[in-house]
Amino acid sequence: MPELPEVETTCRGIAPHIIDQTITQLIIREKRLRWLIPSEILVKNLISQKVLSVTRRAKYIYIQVTTGYLIIHLGMSGTLQVFPANIPHRKHDHFECILKNGKVLRYNDPRRFGCILWAEDPTQLKIISTLGIEPFDKQFKGEYLYQKAIHRKISIKELIMHNQIVVGVGNIYASESLFLAGIHPLLPANQLTLVEAKKLCKAIQVILEKAITKGGTTLKDFYQSDGKPGYFSQQLKVYGREQEPCVNCKKKIQAIRIGQRMTYFCPKCQNN
């Protein structure tokens, strides 16, 4: 799935094609996503509206019109791309906005773990209001993470993937950030020192920023809005590299399962 860099890449990719464009028609082929697509509300609010902005909060994409926001989450396997409207749709193109300029914004999601919602004010939605801070927020600092970690027994890897703490850190970037910070993924959160917390915050920001500049990470099915894959996969130091030599110390990268998710780390460089 798209983690934060993939979502950011998607926003940047579609924005120039849809901002200031008028939505003329919606096509909803499959409304059964994580939650049912609110078809009638979308039609009522989006038709004849001009797109004002494309932004995101956590991994939720906000497409703003005058009366509110179309909110799209890509789940594990979703993509959002702009095509000329005459290009035939593909399998799993569940939702699309036809634009006056002859283009179409298409949402494709084989696993249907994503969602499409409407909100006049997204901050009123429960799924949005419970979100933690953005990793690039000024407040996301060592002190913040340290305070959040101090009473928790879960592993540090699970903690940073928790979106009530910090948003946007998914399974790939969690492993990569911990490697960069030199912290073992199984370290109990309440044993994280302030120094380590600072290092980890910085690492998360560095990794996410780098991934954004590379257009995200394509493992299988993520594509940027122009159809190209993301190139950050070439920069992955531990994720998916089980038994391969560590780029720093040559020791073999280990794979373990933490909370049902595969986790990769170097047993020497992350040995606390």
State the nearest-atom distance from the C-beta of 136 to DNA, in Å.
Answer: 16
State the nearest-atom distance from the C-beta of 217 to DNA, in Å.
Answer: 5
Q: Which of 81, 217, 225, 270 binds DNA (CB under 7 A)?
A: 217
Q: Which of 21, 222, 237, 246 binds DNA (CB under 7 A)?
A: 222
Q: Considering 57, 59, 148, 241, which one is annotated as catalytic?
A: 59
Query: Taking CB under 7 A as the criterion, which residues in 3-42 touch DNA?
Result: 3, 6, 32, 34
Q: What count of other Cβ atoms lies within 10 Å of the Cβ of residue 220? A: 7
Q: Considering 3, 6, 96, 176, which one is annotated as catalytic?
A: 3
- Between 2 and 142, CB nearer to DNA: 2
Long-range pairs for 109-112: beta carbons < 8 A, 24 or more residues apart: 109/33, 109/74, 109/75, 109/77, 109/78, 109/79, 110/77, 110/221, 111/75, 111/76, 111/77, 112/30, 112/32, 112/33, 112/34, 112/75
List, in sequence order, the alpha helices (H) in the chain.
4-18, 39-46, 126-129, 142-149, 156-161, 171-181, 194-213
Number of amino acids touching DNA (CB under 7 A) = 42
What letter represents residue 244's amino acid?
E
- Between 101 and 163, CB nearer to DNA: 163
Based on the shown chain and the rule CB under 7 A, indicate whether residue 231 belongs to the binding site for DNA. Answer: no
- Best CA proximity match to 75, nearest among 156, 195, 140, 170: 170
CA distance 2 to 222: 7
202 given a catalytic annotation: no
DSSP 105-122: EEEE-TT---EEEEESSG
Query: Taking CB under 7 A as the criterion, which residues in 87-146 touch DNA?
Result: 91-92, 110-113, 127, 130
Q: Which residue has the tokens 């340290």?
A: 146
134 given a catalytic annotation: no
Query: Taking CB under 7 A as the criterion, which residues in 165-204 touch DNA?
Result: 170-172
Q: Which of 47, 186, 206, 219 binds DNA (CB under 7 A)?
A: 219
Q: Considering 31, 210, 261, 268, which one is annotated as catalytic?
A: 261
CA distance 128 to 42: 19
120 given a catalytic annotation: no
214 given a catalytic annotation: no
State the nearest-atom distance from the C-beta of 126 to DNA, in Å.
Answer: 7
Q: What count of other Cβ atoms lies within 10 Å of the Cβ of residue 43? A: 13
- The HSE-up count of residue 196 (CA atoms within 13 Å, CB side) is 21
Query: Taking CB under 7 A as the criterion, which residues in 239-268 touch DNA?
Result: 259-262
Residues taking part in catalysis = 2-3, 59, 261
Residues found near DNA in the complex (CB under 7 A): 1-3, 6, 32, 34, 58-59, 73, 75-77, 91-92, 110-113, 127, 130, 151-154, 158, 161, 163, 170-172, 216-222, 230, 259-262
